[in-house]
Amino acid sequence: MGMDNRTVSPAEGAGGDLALGNSGGRVAVIDIGSNSIRLVVYDGLIRSPLALFNEKVLCGLGRGVEKTGNLNPDGVAQGLTALERFARLAAGMRVARLDVIATAAVRDARDGAAFVERVERSTGLTVRVISGEEEARLSAMGVLSGTPEADGLVGDLGGGSLELVTLDRGAIGEQVTLPLGPLRLMETGVTRQNGLVRLIDQHLESLPWLGKAKGRPFYPVGGSWRAIAKLHMEQTSHPLHIIHHYSMPAGEAREFASLMGRQSRSSLEKLSGSRRRLDTLPFAALVFERLLRAAQPSRVVFSAYGLREGHLYSLLTPEGRRVDPLLASAADWAQRFVRMGDPSLLLDWTAGLFAGEDDNATRLRHAACLLSDVGWAEHPDYRAEHAFLRILRYPFPALDHDERAFLALAAYARYAGTVDSPQTLGARSLLSEGQGLKALVLGLALRLAHTLSGGATALLERTSLKVVGERLVLTLPDDGTVPSGEAVQRRVDALAKALNRKGDIAQPMRPQAAE
């Protein structure tokens, strides 16, 4: 029986550790790549792990492998020093599980095995050298960890190789690893760009299944392609500098990649971005452009989740993988910051205002409910600002930029009673007028809920909030257990105004006792 790829809420996940895999404390991954070596320490083996520590060293282990067959000697020395540091840091951080994964450079070099022996001898770490196929699979799983319903083509560009994987609504299909990493291309001896174009195209033309990506999204992974995304953000003045789910039409992406591929180093130096990737960036851009030309995807959706996240995702139980990562992350926030009550009860309480919404809209509203009390500990004058910025910039998975702006604006309205502020202008520019109004309505409803209940959300189960014709009606219990008041009336009136309705507070009469 095939695995059901449907995502579920954390509450459906069969009970915490059972669904997500016993976290057992902090976990860490060291990724030994062709260009960099990186240590990331996470808070646990859970559906949406939070990176507690992230450090990389650009060693360039793969420089020279194409020409000499061996790892770069300077990179080896620098890499050993970095790995010794990482091993000690992980021990000091009391990491319960540390996995070390080596990819293309170590896999392909003649002295790769000798390097692994030196690493294990000097650090005590156990290094797993994975195949190209395994690297492709883990990269695809990384994309799925942050975009559960991904459907199209994944491309992970490292220094030494390009991994391509097809995805069919969350299911992994064909996969391949190609020797098209920027470090490798720099050493091919092909000096003219048209020669590199022919070389890249020959590899891509050997993939009969690449046509499956036509008209579907392409998900780029890898530091060099993330650098291209950052440059595009800056050139277009995009209001949100977050890589994950940064998206653009494929034609626009191809034109920009073509432009970057033709730039000299001096021209690139005038642009901001990763200065240490300037020499490899034109090669990465050229591969990007040729791949987009060959695959003809509909859109490009950048993923900040790759091999490391895919490795952790692969360790979860099947039930844990199906948990919605956004809701898992928001629920974790709720556990850390909410004062009292269960914020998920707000989902049903606000449902009467959003009749006819689709499943994704309900999911976003659920996340907004979970996050609705995150600003309570701030100074009252700054609650709206801090809640807005924290949600806008937090590394939530499975969230497009417009959806991120929606959640942030709803949080702003929850504390400020409005979304009209110079500070929110950038986020509002990502939304349509209708989406902005919905964020305002949801935020005002959450503002009312917290005023009415004092944060003890169980009290809301004795009340109801509904649109009845031209009225917004808040119904309170007849026994006085959830009292009204001037503040409640103000919140009802503000919400009703946003809905272009008249606000009423109804309190049914207590039933008469039988004589």
Is the same domain home to 288 and 399? no
Distance CA 375, CA 349 (A): 21
3-state secondary structure 411-454: HHHHHHCCCCCHHHHHHHCCCCHHHHHHHHHHHHHHHHHHHHHC
Q: How confident is the model at residue 20 (pLDDT cuts 50, 70, 90)?
A: very low
| Digit-coded pLDDT (tens) for 380-432 | 999 999 999 999 999 999 999 999 999 999 999 999 999 999 999 999 999 99
Q: Is residue 312 part of a domain?
A: no
Q: What whole-number distance in Å separates Cα of residue 465 and Cα of residue 320?
A: 34
Written as six digits, the tokens of 379 are 């100074």
- Would you call 407 exposed, middle or buried from its count of C-beta atoms within 10 A (0-12, 13-18, 19+)? buried
In a shared domain, residues 160 and 120: no
What is the per-residue pLDDT for 6?
45
The residues, any chain, with a CB within 8 Å of residue 435's CB and separated by 6 or more, are 402, 406
In whole angstroms, give the CA distance from residue 94 to residue 67: 41
CA distance 156 to 226: 11
Q: What is the per-residue pLDDT for 9?
A: 54
Backbone angles phi and psi of 288, in degrees to 5: -60, -50
Q: What is the dihedral of CA 401, 407, 413, 419, to 10 degrees?
A: 10
pLDDT of residue 24: 74
Whether 485 is covered by a domain: the verdict is yes
**Residue 275 and residue 369 in one domain:** no
Q: What element of type H or E holds 408?
A: helix 401-416
pLDDT confidence of residue 510: 54
Which of 83-92, 255-264, 308-317, 342-351 has the weakest average pLDDT? Answer: 255-264
Instruction: Say what the alpha-carbon torsion angle 350, 354, 358, 363 is, to the nearest 10 degrees.
Output: -30
Residue 384 lies in a domain: yes
Of 5, 290, 58, residue with least CA distance to 167: 5
For residue 463, which of 444, 446, 483, 443 has the smallest C-alpha distance? 483
- Looking at residue 394, its pLDDT comes to 94
**Crossing angle of helices 281-295/223-236, nearest 10°?**
90
One domain for residues 37 and 186: no
pLDDT at 99 over 50: yes
Residue 499 pLDDT > 90: yes
- Residue 262 is predicted with a pLDDT of 81
Look at residue 1 in the predicted model and tell me its pLDDT. Answer: 29
Tokens representing 37 are: 């070596």
Q: Residue 314: inside a domain, yes or no?
A: no
Q: Do 363 and 243 share a structural domain?
A: no
pLDDT band at 194 (very low <50, low <70, confident <90, very high): confident
Identify the pLDDT of residue 323.
96
Mean pLDDT of 305-330: 96
pLDDT at 337 over 90: no
Q: Which residues of 451-461 are buried (b: 16+ CB within 10 A; e: fewer)?
A: bbbebebebbe
Share above pLDDT 90 across residues of the chain, in percent, rounded to a whole number:
83
pLDDT: which is higher, 245 or 263: 245
pLDDT digits (tens, 9 = 90+) for 275-313: 566 788 999 999 999 999 999 999 999 999 999 999 999
Tell me the pLDDT tens digit for each residue of 55-77: 999 999 999 999 999 999 999 99
178 and 81 part of one domain: no
For 348, other C-beta atoms within 10 Å of its C-beta total 12
Per the rule left: phi > 0, alpha: psi between -120 and 50, beta: everything else, 14 is: left
For residues 269 and 509, what is the distance between their CA atoms, to the nearest angstrom? 74
Domain membership of residue 14 as a residue range? 10-131
- Residue 419: predicted pLDDT: 97
Say what the pLDDT of residue 192 is: 66
Residues 108 and 161 in one domain: no
Distance CA 241, CA 228 (A): 12
256 pLDDT band, cuts 50/70/90, is: very high
Q: Let me know whether 256 and 336 are in one domain.
A: no
Scanning the structure block, which residue is given the tokens 């890249």? 200
Q: Please check whether residues 300 and 333 belong to one and the same domain.
A: no
User: Residue 16 — pLDDT band, cuts 50, 70, 90?
Assistant: very low
Mean pLDDT confidence for 118-129: 98
CB 25 within 8 A of CB 95: yes
CATH number for the domain harbouring residue 56: 3.30.420.40
Do the beta carbons of residue 457 and residue 449 sit within 8 Å?
yes
- CB burial of residue 374 (10 Å; 0-12, 13-18, 19+): buried
Q: What is the pLDDT of residue 278?
A: 74
Rounded CA-CA distance 469/492 in Å is 16
Q: For the chain, how many structural domains are there in total?
A: 3
H or E stretch including 31?
Answer: strand 27-32
Helix (H/G/I), strand (E/B), else coil: 219: strand
In this structure, are 282 and 373 located in the same domain? no
- Inform me whether the pLDDT recorded for 446 exceeds 60: yes
CA distance 308 to 31: 7
In this prediction, residues 165-179 reach a mean pLDDT of: 95
- H helical segments located in 206-300: 223-236, 250-261, 265-269, 281-295
Task: Enumerate residues 6+ apart whose C-beta is below 8 A from 269.
Answer: 275, 278
| Per-residue b or e along 224-238, where b marks 16 or more CB atoms closer than 10 Å to that residue's CB | bbbbbbbbbbeeeeb
User: Pick from 104, 131, 158: which residue ends a domain?
Assistant: 131
Burial class (CB in 10 A: 0-12, 13-18, 19+), 352: middle
Among residues 304, 333, 359, the one where a domain terminates is 304
459 within domain boundaries: yes
Buried-exposed string 55-93: b where 16+ CB fall within 10 A, e elsewhere? eebbbbbbbbbbeeeebbeebbebbbebbeebbeebeeb
Answer whether residue 14 shows pLDDT above 50: no
**What is the arithmetic mean of pLDDT over 199-222?**
96
Alpha-carbon distance 305 to 150, whole Å? 12
Looking at the fold, whether 188 and 126 belong to one and the same domain comes out as no
- Give the pLDDT confidence score for residue 277 in this predicted structure: 65
First to last CA, the chain: 64
What pLDDT sits at residue 333?
86
The CATH number covering residue 258 comes to: 3.30.420.150
Q: Which of 275, 304, 333 is the last residue of a domain?
A: 304
Give pLDDT, residue 271. Answer: 67
pTM for the model stands at: 0.90
| Separation CA 38–CA 96 (nearest Å) | 18
Examine the domain organization and report whether 186 and 293 are in the same domain.
Answer: yes
Residue 47 lies in a domain: yes
Q: What is the pLDDT of residue 197?
A: 94
Question: In the predicted model, what is the mean pLDDT of residues 227-243?
Answer: 94
Give the separation between CA 274 and CA 484, rounded to whole angstroms.
56
Q: Is residue 470 part of a domain?
A: yes
User: Residue 301: which of 244, 260, 256, 259 has the closest Cα?
Assistant: 244
Question: CB under 8 Å to 72, separation ≥6 — which residues?
Answer: 59, 60, 61, 62, 63, 64, 65
Whether 1 is covered by a domain: the verdict is: no
Q: How far apart are CA 318 and CA 165, in angstroms?
A: 21
